[in-house]
């Protein structure tokens, strides 16, 4: 039996790991072991319930307003003895969070092979996104199996000196996840959401990135206010990330505005339905940039640079940064120009085909069959 451990702790990791865990559970020769750091709490728990993921352990490391150093230290201290006891044959980490970096590092210390899901994304800017760009570069130095979502990601790994036979282009598992959910959702699970006035044109917004906290997020809010001023028919739905610093800014600018629904984070199926109901999406999220094209929704990316360049190239996303006027002008074009809108909404999703998890499992099985 191959003991395959999934180390994760945040909402996006859970969503992107879930299809791989579900697949691994069905495999005879694999024993999946879910080890949670608990870097996130409420917004992680709802994903575990949704996909019926039962962790062996949850280290519960989250604290209010945690700093990167404290978080890193807590995960090292608490995860280390777990790996010592469990001795998995492989540790899988996903993406670029603190949990993913520490999971990979500790596996290396115990000389356990590491598989990196969503490997090879690069913005080539040390501080954007911060600290994720450097987290994923460091994970690439450690990993033995690199599961790249796209050709471009694989190219980045090759350029970075990773051996070709360790890189596998598999697509992004988030497409597997959204495919599992999107067809099933047509009413919100929470009653109050079904009562929300979504108007004729609803724009969905999410923002949480560390580098956007402060003046950039204030600019995003000002852009929303300006859009409302010139288009009073617009309705904005903004599920707020639980980070207190994010909430403070959003509430300061947008609370009690009749055109803005500032709401609690949505459970994944409700969020997918909200994406479906939106006209377009404003976001600094990584995952949302990848999911939106599956639903034919244009994305305006609230970042100065993105590692998800495939969407920009394919035309599913437009980078608008955090400049108030750029956001306003680009959103206005989308609203006023149905032909531009239609063109964007018909582009095929460049991030995957929904079969990534199965590919990852086959590769892991093959890796261990060669080792015997
Ligand atoms: C983390 C990841 C980021 C990812 C994001 C997804 C790192 C460095 N960053 O950032 O890459 O995009 O998750 O959402 O790993 N909080 C709660 N409840 C929760 C979750 C968070 O109250 O369920 C609050 C806490 O006060 C916490 C703060 O949010 O201290 C920040 O959480 P943290 O995981 O440190 O950073 P994120 O911004 O969520
Ligand atoms: N998401 C969700 N509820 C929300 C906001 C986002 O379920 O209220 C999902 C979204 O569909 C995507 C993931 O969470 O799959 C993205 O998480 P986030 O934006 O927090 O992190 P990132 O992808 O930027 O790391």
Q: Where are the domains of the chain?
A: 2-172+353-369, 191-345
The preferred substitution site among 15, 243, 307 for testing ligand 1, maximizing ligand atoms within 8 Å of CB, is 243
Q: Which helix (H) or strand (E) holds 142?
A: helix 132-142
Domains 2-172+353-369 and 191-345 share a fold: yes
3-class state of residue 6 by DSSP: strand
For residues 330-350, average pLDDT: 94
Instruction: Please identify, by atom number, the ligand 1 atom nearest to the C-alpha of residue 64.
Output: 26
0.85 surpassed by pTM: yes
pLDDT of 291 reads: 98
Span from the CA of 272 to the centroid of ligand 1 (angstroms): 20
Average pLDDT value over all residues in the chain: 97
Set 13, 40, 74, 118: catalytic member: 118
Q: What angle do CA 21, 23, 24 make, to 5 degrees?
A: 65
Listed residue (296, 286, 298, 355) closest to 330, CA to CA:
298
The DSSP output letter for 164 is: G
Contact indicator for 149, 368 with CB cutoff of 8 Å? no
248 has catalytic annotation: no
Measure CA 316 to chain center.
17
E strands, 265-316, where?
A: 280-283, 299-301
Residue 105 Cα to ligand 1 midpoint, Å, equals: 20
- The C-alpha torsion from 185 through 190 and 192 to 195, rounded to 10°, is 20
Query: How much is the average pLDDT of 345-369?
Result: 97
Separation of CA 67 and ligand 1 centre (Å)? 10
Average pLDDT over residues 309-332: 97
pLDDT score at 50: 97
Q: Pick the catalytic residue from 210, 218, 353, 362.
A: 210
Task: Report the distance separating Cα 12 and Cα 79, nearest Å.
Answer: 20
Among candidate residues 86, 88, 79, the one with its CA nearest the CA of residue 113: 88
pLDDT for residue 308 is more than 80: yes
> Has 86 been annotated as catalytic?
no
Residue 370, pLDDT above cutoff 90? no
What are the pLDDT digits (tens) for 65-77? 999 999 999 999 9
Number of the ligand closest to the Cα of 246: 1
Cα–Cα distance for residue pair 157/155, rounded to 1 Å: 5
In the annotation, is 209 catalytic? no
- What spatial distance separates the first Cα and last Cα of the chain, rounded to whole Å? 11
- Predicted local confidence at residue 68, as pLDDT: 98
How many Å apart are CA 50 and CA 40, to the nearest integer? Answer: 16
Q: How far apart are CA 119 and CA 95, in angstroms?
A: 7
The rounded percent of the chain whose pLDDT value lies above 70 is 100
> 58-106, pLDDT tens digit by residue?
999 999 999 999 999 999 999 999 999 999 999 999 999 999 999 999 9
One of 74, 122, 132, 290 is an active-site residue; which one? 132
Mutate to test the pocket of ligand 2, among 175, 179, 270, 285 (most ligand atoms within 8 A of CB): 285
Task: Give kind and range of the element (H or E) at residue 73.
Answer: helix 68-86
Question: In 3D, which of 206, 70, 212 has the Cα closest to residue 128?
Answer: 212
- Calpha distance 276→272 (Å, rounded): 6
Instruction: Encode pLDDT of 143-202 as tens digits.
Output: 999 999 999 999 999 999 999 999 999 999 999 999 999 999 999 999 999 999 999 999
How much distance in Å is there from the Cα of 165 to the middle of ligand 2? 32
Residue with tokens 């261990």: 368
Round to whole Å and give the CA distance between 97 and 204.
24
Active site residue 118: yes
Q: Is residue 40 annotated as part of the catalytic site, yes or no?
A: no
CATH number of 2-172+353-369: 3.40.50.2000
Distance 358 CA to ligand 1 centre (A): 29
Residue 371 has pLDDT above 90, yes or no: no
pLDDT confidence tier of residue 372, bands split at 50, 70 and 90: low
List, for residues 195-234, the tens digit of each pLDDT value. Answer: 999 999 999 999 999 999 999 999 999 999 999 999 999 9
Mean pLDDT of 113-138: 98
Q: Using the mean position of ligand 1's atoms as its centre, give its distance from the Cα of residue 39 in Å.
A: 7
**Domain 191-345: assigned CATH number:** 3.40.50.2000
Atom of ligand 2 nearest to the CA of 284: 24
The count of residues in the chain is 372
Ligand 2 binding site (Cβ under 6 Å of any ligand atom) = 11-12, 15, 174, 206, 208, 239, 265-266, 268, 271, 285-288, 291
Query: Among 241, 303, 308, 359, which one carries the catalytic annotation?
Result: 241
pLDDT of residue 79: 98
Question: Mean pLDDT, to the nearest integer, of 135-146?
Answer: 98
Catalytic site residue 146? no
pLDDT in tens, 3-33: 999 999 999 999 999 999 999 999 999 999 9
> 143: cis peptide before it, omega within 30°?
no
Ligand nearest to the CA of 14: 2
């Amino acid at each position: 039996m191959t003991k395959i451990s999934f180390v994760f702790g945040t909402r996006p990791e859970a969503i992107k790991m879930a299809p791989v865990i579900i697949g691994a559970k069905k495999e005879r020769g694999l024993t999946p072991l879910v080890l949670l750091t608990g870097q996130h709490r409420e917004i992680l728990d709802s994903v575990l319930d949704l996909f019926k993921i039962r962790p062996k352990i949850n280290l519960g490391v989250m604290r209010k307003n945690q700093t990167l150093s404290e978080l890193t230290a807590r995960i090292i201290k608490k995860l280390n003895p777990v790996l010592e006891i469990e001795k998995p044959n492989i540790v899988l980490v996903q993406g670029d969070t603190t949990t993913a970096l520490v999971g990979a590092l500790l596996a290396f210390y115990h000389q356990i092979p590491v598989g990196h899901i969503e490997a090879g994304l690069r913005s080539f800017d040390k501080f954007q996104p911060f600290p994720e760009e450097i987290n994923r570069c460091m994970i690439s130095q450690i990993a033995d199996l690199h599961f790249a979502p796209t050709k471009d990601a694989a190219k980045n790994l090759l350029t970075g000196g990773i051996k070709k036979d360790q890189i596998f282009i598999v697509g992004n598992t988030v497409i597997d996840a959204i495919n599992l959910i999107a067809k099933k959702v047509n009413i919100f699970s929470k009653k109050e959401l079904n009562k929300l006035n979504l108007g004729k044109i609803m724009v969905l917004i999410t923002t949480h990135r560390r580098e956007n906290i402060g003046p950039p997020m204030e600019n995003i809010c000002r852009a929303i206010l300006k859009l409302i001023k010139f288009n009073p028919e617009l309705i904005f739905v903004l599920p707020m990330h639980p980070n207190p610093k994010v909430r403070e800014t959003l509430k300061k600018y947008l609370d009690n505005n009749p055109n803005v629904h500032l709401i609690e984070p949505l459970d994944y199926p409700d969020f997918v339905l909200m994406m479906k109901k939106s006209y377009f999406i404003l976001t600094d999220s990584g995952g949302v940039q990848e999911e939106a094209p599956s639903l034919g929704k244009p994305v305006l990316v609230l970042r100065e640079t993105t590692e998800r360049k495939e969407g920009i190239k394919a035309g599913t996303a437009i980078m608008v940064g955090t400049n108030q006027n750029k956001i306003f002008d680009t959103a206005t074009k989308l609203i006023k120009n149905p032909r531009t809108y239609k063109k964007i909404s018909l582009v095929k999703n460049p991030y995957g085909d929904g079969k990534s998890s199965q590919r990852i499992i086959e590769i892991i099985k093959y890796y261990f069959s060669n080792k015997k």
